[in-house]
Amino acid sequence: MPIKVKTVQRPESLAQDAFVPAVIKGLGVTMRHFFSNVFARKYTATLQYPEEKAPYPQRNRGLHRLMVRDDGQVRCVACMMCPTACPAHCITIVAEEAPDGSIEKRPRLFEIDELRCVVCGLCVEACPCDAIRMDTGIHAPPVVNRGDAVLGKVDLLKMAAQSTAHQGVKTPEWRAEPETARSIARPEERKG
């Protein structure tokens, strides 16, 4: 059985063939935006980067930092919770015994590969000792060699004092329930 071919007629006019009206309409939109940006700067969202820097949000996480105790020792007890919780597998910890003979462990090696980190903050939430934080507000710097982006224990401890964190709590009474919420939530208390 032979294959049948159906012939479709093309548009008849030259204007429809060349898409002239659509091209003119598109160029009109482009020129309107061009002139409004060149002369009025109406739609411009560009920063002049080296001179102007975009402000980071107040709760920006930034680079990691290791916290220290009052005696100057690292707060981490090498429980391996942060590398377990990390979805990018960018944290490496090698544990060792404490030199004073106590039962507690400490990290001999603590490294974070900032190129692999997805800045999710799960390591901070998983840490039971509050040993690791991400509140430096510092963006990861550009590096030439991949090894320069791996922050070791010494690098993370250098940032221990830096913190730009702004928590959402404004007053110490944030746990107190407002009177109106209490009366709406528990109507049986209003009767008494």
Q: What is the pTM of this model?
A: 0.60
pLDDT of 67-112, one tens digit each? Answer: 988 888 888 999 999 999 999 999 999 999 988 777 788 999 999 9
Residues 139 and 71 in one domain: yes
Tell me the pLDDT tens digit for each residue of 18-73: 778 888 999 999 999 888 888 877 767 778 888 888 887 777 888 999 998 888 88
Query: For residue 147, what is the domain's CATH number?
Result: 3.30.70.3270
Looking at residue 192, what is its pLDDT? 46
Domain membership of residue 142 (yes or no) is: yes
- 72: containing domain: 65-158
* Assigned domain for 173 exists: no
Map the chain to HEC letters. CCCCCCCCCCCCCHHHHHCHHHHHHHHHHHHHHHHHHHHHCCCCCCCCCCCCCCCCCCCCCCCCEECECCCCCECCCCCCHHHHHCCCCCEEEEEEECCCCCCCEEEEEEEEECCCCCCCCHHHHHCCCCCEECCCCCCCCCCCCHHHHEECHHHHHHCCCCCCCCCCCCCHHHHCCCHHHHHHHCHHHHHC
80 & 149 share domain: yes
Looking at the structure, tell me whether residues 80 and 141 fall in a common domain: yes
